[in-house]
Chain A
Amino acid sequence: NAGVTQTPKFRVLKTGQSMTLLCAQDMNHEYMYWYRQDPGMGLRLIHYSVGEGTTAKGEVPDGYNVSRLKKQNFLLGLESAAPSQTSVYFCASSYGREVYEQYFGPGTRLTVT
């Protein structure tokens, strides 16, 4: 099992550009999440999904959109990147229904100039 994978690992964008981060899991997990990690801030939840075709806002959703068209994939989009979105982005997944631990991907380091 590959677990949770994220594509790409690194990316540099210019202000105003758009991009999509891809998260894939092969554990048949129901729930998936996108977090961002900034120095001294811990991890903050951006959006999450409790099943295929459903998404919901987390703590810091502004400037991001998500889609969960397939159970194994969870996409995070930035329509018009801003320097404030420079961060490390982590995807995670969990079994759902009961509160189980979340398994994290390796992260994507995004820099917006």
Chain B
Amino acid sequence: AQKVTQAQTEISVVEKEDVTLDCVYETRDTTYYLFWYKQPPSGELVFLIRRNSFDEQNEISGRYSWNFQKSTSSFNFTITASQVVDSAVYFCALSEATEGNNRLAFGKGNQVVVIP
């Protein structure tokens, strides 16, 4: 069974500070995919990134960066120089490729509050 743990429930930062969100996952599959989604106060879910289990290269996209480490089963997400618009709930999710249905197992989410 797949499982995703996001230990931090709410994180408050002052604008321009960096914030890192931790995600730890469990799976028996060798082929799997990891995702981050953002849910702003308006409620919609916005896709941010997808990573497969064979690609451990870390990625930077603007102020966002991701650190994928298979050795520790972690897929952490960092927002650099946070802005008020980054205030949202961020979800980490896992999909096991061998199931063939692409279903996602979500963590419980990290509430990020950026204080101006």
B78 to chain A, nearest CB (A): 20
Which parts of A35-90 form the interface with B (CB within 8 Å)? 35, 40-45, 48, 50, 56, 58, 88, 90
Nearest A residue to B102, CB-CB: A99
**Beta-carbon contact of A101 and B50 below 8 Å:** yes
**Beta-carbon contact of B91 and A99 below 8 Å:** no
**Beta-carbon contact of A104 and B44 below 8 Å:** yes
**Beta-carbon contact of A101 and B35 below 8 Å:** yes
**Beta-carbon contact of A58 and B103 below 8 Å:** yes
**Does B100 belong to the interface (CB within 8 Å)?**
yes
**Beta-carbon contact of B106 and A43 below 8 Å:** yes
Q: CB-CB < 8 A to B37: which residues of A?
A: 104
**Beta-carbon contact of B108 and A31 below 8 Å:** no
- A88 to B109 Cα, complex, angstroms: 15
Q: Which residue of A44, A90, A102 is within 8 Å of B102 (Cβ)?
A: A102
Known: A31-B101, A50-B101, A56-B101. A42 touches B47 (CB 8 A): no
Known: A41-B108, A101-B50. A96 touches B102 (CB 8 A): yes
- A101 to B47 Cα, complex, angstroms: 7
Nearest B residue to A31, CB-CB: B102
**Beta-carbon contact of B108 and A33 below 8 Å:** no
- A41 to B108 Cα, complex, angstroms: 5
Which residues on B are within 8 Å of A, measured CB to CB?
9, 33, 35, 37, 43-45, 47, 50, 52, 91, 95, 97, 100-109
Top 3 A-B pairs, shortest CB-CB distance: A104-B45, A42-B106, A42-B108
For this complex, 24 residue pairs linking A to B, each with C-beta atoms less than 8 Å apart, are A31-B101, A35-B106, A40-B9, A42-B91, A42-B106, A44-B106, A48-B101, A50-B101, A58-B103, A92-B45, A94-B102, A96-B102, A99-B33, A99-B50, A99-B52, A99-B95, A99-B102, A100-B50, A100-B102, A101-B35, A101-B47, A101-B50, A103-B47, A104-B37
